[in-house]
Amino acid sequence: MADNDPAVRTRGLRRTYGARKALDGLDMEVGRGTVHAVLGPNGAGKTTLVRTLATLLRVQAGYAEVVGIDLAAHPRLVRRRIGLLGQHAAVDEELSGRQNLEVFGRLYHLGGRRAAARAEELLERFGLAGTGRTPVRAYSGGMRRRLDLAASLLVDPDVLFLDEPTTGLDPRGRGEVWNAVRSLVGGGSTVLLTTQYLEEADQLADRISVVDGGRVIADGTADQLKEEVGGDRIDVVLRDPGRLAEAAAVLGGVSATGRADTDADTRRVSAPVADRMAALHHAVRALDAAGIAAEDLAVRRPTLDEVFLHLTGGPAGAVPGEHEEVSA
């Protein structure tokens, strides 16, 4: 219970739904005051993990604690210390933002007056002060998510769980939520967020746990993970698919690993690079010198698929030997 306890600690956490293993011995530790991303494809066990940590699902097997409190033994104590932003908006469509926050404030036993004051304060902080009596039904996706976030912050939780906070939002809504999450970090809260997007984890998190098949398969900072995959990649789309092998040989010369991957369907050659500007420069000149016409050429960050390909040796969501368990 000391303040230096990690915000979240799990050991061998398991959960099955029938024959499907949603969590398969998951070990994780989240430091106090950090933003920790749980990155993985659909069906990796991210939501099950968050729902377990937020006391919505019972701990079936293994051990989990939040701010040093054993989840299995004291779920109600944990509830006083956490905030949850679930995948579905957990607010009343018919009520206004203020009404929603006041109801939740009363249920946190703030009392009528403090609940009203806190609602006002949070609406202001998340840029929703002008919404008045407008029902949440009329909110944009980003506004709704921010209200949801405000509701999970009513009592300054020690640990805030965000389950895919930007899934389904347009880029503008995503930016709004990102800014809101960043503003929390200064307050000393711990944030555990799940995401399918490496970019999101990269933007927000101090540390990333990559999960697949209900287990953590890699853990580290965004830079560490990307270095493991080989950092940036260069993509070239050819005009003539017949010259893919030739182009792969040319790009092999700028590749950090000395080799390039080809995909005949998309006429694409792709290679990991260490220095993005130098690689771009060399690739353009080398392709030109070889007389290979490119339709498109770009340097980009590795995608989650590539991180997975690298970490698991298979495509995302298909750890060898566990196909059936991770299908959902």
Partner 1 sequence: MSDTAYVPPVAGTAPLHGSAFGWWLADSWTMTRRELARWARRPGQVAVNLAFPVVMLLMFALFLGGAMTVAGGGEYTEFLVPGMFVLTMAFGLEATMTAVTQDLGRGVVDRFRSMPMAPSAVLVGRGVADVLESAVSLGVMLLAGLAIGWRWHGSLPAVLSAVGLLLLLRLAMLWCGIWLGLVVGRPELVMAVQILVWPFAFTSGVFAPPESMPGWLGALAEWNPLSATASAVRALFGNPGAVSASWPAENALPLAVLWPLLLLAVAFPLAAARFRRLGR
Least distance in angstroms from the C-beta of 101 to partner 1 = 12
Q: Measured from the CB atom, is 83 or 214 closer to partner 1?
A: 83
Least distance in angstroms from the C-beta of 15 to partner 1 = 11
Contact footprint for partner 1 (CB under 8 A): 1, 51, 54-58, 69, 73-77, 79-82, 84, 86-95, 99, 103-104, 106-110, 135, 151-152, 155-156, 158
Least distance in angstroms from the C-beta of 68 to partner 1 = 9
Least distance in angstroms from the C-beta of 151 to partner 1 = 7
Least distance in angstroms from the C-beta of 76 to partner 1 = 4
Q: Measured from the CB atom, is 20 or 79 closer to partner 1?
A: 79
Which neighbouring-strand residues pair with 216? 211
Q: Measured from the CB atom, is 77 or 309 closer to partner 1?
A: 77
Phi, psi at residue 57, to the nearest 5°? -120, 140
Least distance in angstroms from the C-beta of 109 to partner 1 = 5
Q: Measured from the CB atom, is 88 or 113 closer to partner 1?
A: 88
How far is the C-alpha of 123 from the C-alpha of 261, rounded, in Å? 50
Q: What is the DSSP letter of 197?
A: -
> Which three-class secondary structure state does DSSP give residue 205?
coil
Say how far residue 243 (Cα) sits from the centre of its chain: 38
Q: Measured from the CB atom, is 59 or 271 closer to partner 1?
A: 59
Q: What angle do CA 195, 19, 64 make, to 5 degrees?
A: 50
Q: Measured from the CB atom, is 93 or 227 closer to partner 1?
A: 93
Q: Measured from the CB atom, is 30 or 244 closer to partner 1?
A: 30
Q: Closest Cα partner for 290 from 326, 227, 245, 257?
A: 245
- CB neighbours of 90 closer than 8 A, spacing ≥ 6? 84, 148, 151
- Please check whether residue 35 is in contact with residue 185, taking contact to mean a CB–CB distance below 8 angstroms: yes
How far is the C-alpha of 251 from the C-alpha of 247, rounded, in Å? 6
- Please check whether residue 153 is in contact with residue 165, taking contact to mean a CB–CB distance below 8 angstroms: no
- CB neighbours of 178 closer than 8 A, spacing ≥ 6? 166, 200, 203, 204
Least distance in angstroms from the C-beta of 182 to partner 1 = 20
Q: Report CA-CA distances (Å) from 104 to 101, 111, 114, 148, 193.
A: 5, 11, 12, 11, 22
Q: Measured from the CB atom, is 68 or 252 closer to partner 1?
A: 68
Least distance in angstroms from the C-beta of 303 to partner 1 = 29
Q: Measured from the CB atom, is 65 or 235 closer to partner 1?
A: 65
CB atoms under 10 Å from CB of 289, counted, come to 9
Least distance in angstroms from the C-beta of 170 to partner 1 = 20
DSSP annotation string for 141-168: HHHHHHHHHHHHTTT--SEEEEESTTTT
